[in-house]
Amino acid sequence: MTKRTQRFVFLGVAILVVGLGTGLVASYVGLPNLGIVGSDGPAELAYVPPDATVVAFADVREVMDSQLRQKLLKISPEADHGADSFQAETGINMQTDVDRIVATISGTPDPSNPANMRPLLLARGRFDTARIEAAIRAKGGTVEEYNKQRLITLQNELGLAFVEPDLAVVGVPASVRRAIDTKASGNNVTSNADVMRLVRDFDSGNAWVVAHIEAVTSGNVIPAEIKQQLPPITWLALNARIDDGVSAMVRAEARDEAAANNLRDVIRGLVALARLQTAQHQELAQLVNSLELGGQGTTVSLGLTIPPAVIDMLGALRGAQPPVAPQGIPGATGPRRRLPPAL
């Protein structure tokens, strides 16, 4: 065998070995575990209990600074009211204080215990701890020491602890205590292989959610009639990149292949219907055409891209709408609101 032939054989074998090796490692060990691609999720997962059924992440700074948000604020200035109420309750300003946030729900939801259904929030950013603590104490809050952490509670409804200089844990007091215990014990959600499998796959973009739908719906939160109509999905994951538009990917894992095929058929039908409805509107047609249905076996995935042009179009449509004026119901006898005098 000549040197040239030997080199060729070596190159061919090397490509195969490297490819197979990479694939095997990615499949059975996971590239994120080796630190080659991605990571084992955000560091805040150290506070998330192992029985978490929903884990969500948002890079608040990127989302807040995104062109999309600026456009949405122009379209709908009241869109930030949710953040305002959060600030009123906790003293934390989402727009200026928080860089990123992890939200989680653990265990099976129980409607008889609403506190159990409230998410635990882990917000990383810059906090004026003294001011926030003073604000909560002014409302009647108390401060206690729990597992070497300073826990601020308000009427058993709100718990807040600054577990790291730049990390605040917010939720019902029981959840916050459990988060502190989780960190101390080291037994956290990263040991939950099912959740982490999806977290690793979806830990890209600036927002993502992983939910164990089967566990979430197994409680009595959803009426049985509605539950019967839901597709038999076990896991649902979504990630999105928000900048001047939105690119998102949703993945659903069905109970079996038949259920996945049914779900694909339903989505395919809905996409066809949407295509029919939007044929006259080029921008919306662009949005519908960006839908990418995929997945194999029990997995169904749907990709979506909302281009900036669609956002602009929605803004233009909103701008073109006449302001909604209160209207009396014909035949109604109730008092009509008096309009302010014209200036």
Q: Which is nearer to another protein, 12 or 328 (CB)?
A: 12
Nearest CB to another protein, comparing residues 116 and 305: 305
The answer to the question of residue 275 lying near another protein (CB under 8 A) is yes
Q: d(Cα 271, Cα 254) in Å, to the nearest integer?
A: 19
| Interface with another protein, residue 34, by CB under 8 A | no
Give whichever of 3 and 337 is closer to another protein, judged by the CB atom.
3
Instruction: Work out whether 111 is an interface residue with another protein (CB under 8 A).
Output: no
Is 38 a residue that touches another protein (CB under 8 A)?
Answer: yes
204 binds another protein (CB under 8 A): yes
Nearer to another protein, 4 or 338 (CB): 4
How many residues does this entry show for the chain? Answer: 343
Q: Is 291 in the site for another protein (CB under 8 A)?
A: yes
Q: Considering the complex, what minimum distance in angstroms separates the CB of residue 82 from another protein?
A: 30
Q: Which of 108, 116, 190, 299 binds another protein (CB under 8 A)?
A: 299
Tell me the number of residues near another protein by CB under 8 A. Answer: 45
Is residue 119 a contact residue for another protein (CB under 8 A)?
A: no
Q: Which is nearer to another protein, 29 or 134 (CB)?
A: 29
- Of 129 and 301, the one with the shorter C-beta distance to another protein is 301
Our finding on whether 15 is near another protein (CB under 8 A) is: yes
Where do contacts with another protein occur on this chain (CB under 8 A)?
A: 1-2, 4-5, 8-9, 11-13, 15-16, 19-20, 22-24, 26-27, 30-31, 37-38, 197, 200-202, 204, 247, 264, 268, 271, 275, 288-296, 299, 301, 303, 305
